[in-house]
Amino acid sequence: MRRILAVATAIATLLAAYACTSGEGPGVAGTKISVGVIPIVDVAPVYLGRQKGFFSRRGIDLTLVPEQGGALIVKGVLAGRYQFGFSNVTSLMAAQSEGAPLKAVANGVASTGRAGRDFSAVVVTDGSPIRSAKDLAGKRIAVNTLRNLGDTTVRQSVRRAGGNPTGIRFQAMPFSEMPSALQARQVDAAWVVEPQLSEALTQGGQVVASNFVDTAPDLTVAMYFTSRPTIEVDPDLVARFAEAVNESLRYAAGHPEEIRDTVGTYTQITDTVRTAMILPNWSSDINRASLEQLATLGREDGIFTQSPALDQLLP
């Protein structure tokens, strides 16, 4: 059954790859593509890259479609709704380990590697009895999707602090809803990334764990990816897309103020949050050792039924 589903999704994506062109055939100027993204700071480089013409100069007419999490974007690419997607690496490894025909084409975002100064954190309200990651054991914690990157990295923070993560109750919600859910005491803590991290902190929130930093040094968090049928049908388009993404990452790393302004074009943030945001590391290099660590943790936490084949997934 799994093989049949894989073939079906591959065919759907194959047809979508042809359909996404402007009618002039694959690999030509004016190719229209849709990319699934999450409305968080991570994807600011592609929004800015589109504005700067990095994609249009390569003959790509780029549409960015917001989704709640990486798992939904993976499904969208497999179903042919998107020609490319942005997803956290846990979602990609989980899908690849189950036979999904996916392949990363460019790095997406990485941790700063600085505890207390990363773009991702577990946050509690001011006055909460939770004072450290160890205290998160048995608590209700908001994550954007279940059985995914948030679960694994938060559990690792608890383990490293000497706590037992088995009793944690994760609750799924969009990142944008987490600060208000935290204030309303709907959850005990929330795993948030920028700009929602700074939003929560301006409301009196306190960081109790830097979950990406606790998981691996300079963790590669997410990547841009496509389906193998798309690569087979139009390798030139894939190459041009990857080039535009990498140029966008390089530009983002050198122009932080433009990035701060760009985030406000696709999320609702205040000037205070825009200024306070901790920006990620937008290196074009993928940290394989950090992915191997995530794969190991994913097996331990039951997210992966079998170990992902990184050689098949990575560019």
Q: How far is the C-alpha of 72 from the C-alpha of 86, rounded, in Å?
A: 10
Give yes or no: residues 57 and 92 share one domain.
Answer: yes
Give yes or no: residues 106 and 227 share one domain.
Answer: yes
pLDDT of residue 305: 83
Average of per-residue pLDDT values in the chain: 92
Q: What is the 3-state secondary structure (H, E, C) of the chain?
A: CHHHHHHHHHHHHHHHHHHCCCCCCCCCCCEEEEEEECCCHHHHHHHHHHHHCCCHHHCEEEEEEECCCHHHHHHHHHCCCCCEEEEEHHHHHHHHHCCCCEEEEEEEEECCCCCCCCCEEEEECCCCCCCCHHHHCCCEEEECCCCCHHHHHHHHHHHHCCCCHHHCEEEECCHHHHHHHHHCCCCCEEEEECCHHHHHHHCCCEEEECHHHHHCCCCEEEEEEEEHHHHHHCHHHHHHHHHHHHHHHHHHHHCHHHHHHHHHHHCCCCHHHHHHCCCCECCCCCCHHHHHHHHHHHHHCCCCCCCCCHHHHCC
| 140-143 vs 102-110, strand pairing mode | unpaired
Give yes or no: residues 257 and 282 share one domain.
Answer: yes
Q: How far is the C-alpha of 118 from the C-alpha of 201, rounded, in Å?
A: 13
Give yes or no: residues 132 and 97 share one domain.
Answer: no
CB neighbours of residue 74 within 10 Å = 25
- 89 vs 22, which has greater pLDDT? 89
In tens, the pLDDT along 212-239 reads 999 999 999 999 999 999 999 999 999 9
Mean pLDDT of 15-31: 50
In tens, the pLDDT along 123-172 reads 999 999 999 999 999 999 999 999 999 999 999 999 999 999 999 999 99
- In percent, the amount of the chain with pLDDT more than 70 equals 91
pLDDT of residue 247: 98
In tens, the pLDDT along 84-137 reads 999 999 999 999 999 999 999 999 999 999 999 999 999 999 999 999 999 999
Domain boundary among 163, 190, 215: 215
Nearest to 199 by CA among 259, 138, 121: 121
- Structural domain boundaries enclosing 24: 2-111+218-313
State pTM to two decimals. 0.90
Give yes or no: residues 231 and 193 share one domain.
Answer: no
Mean pLDDT of 284-305: 94
pLDDT at 208 over 50: yes
What do you get for the CA distance between the two ends of the chain, in Å?
28
pLDDT of residue 22: 45
pLDDT of residue 5: 44
What CATH number did the domain enclosing 30 receive?
Answer: 3.40.190.10
pLDDT at 56 over 50: yes
Mean pLDDT of 176-192: 97
Domain count, the chain: 2
Nearest to 105 by CA among 294, 218, 293, 240: 240
pLDDT at 4 over 60: no
Asked if residue 60 lies in contact with residue 66, where contact means CB atoms within 8 angstroms, the answer is no
CB neighbours of residue 243 within 10 Å = 17
pLDDT of residue 306: 87
Six token digits for residue 151: 């679960």
Mean pLDDT of 257-267: 97
Give yes or no: residues 81 and 204 share one domain.
Answer: no
Q: What angle do CA 302, 307, 309 make, to 5 degrees?
A: 145
Give yes or no: residues 241 and 289 share one domain.
Answer: yes
pLDDT at 269 over 60: yes
Q: What are phi and psi of 246, to 5 degrees?
A: -65, -35
Nearest to 189 by CA among 140, 145, 261, 118: 140
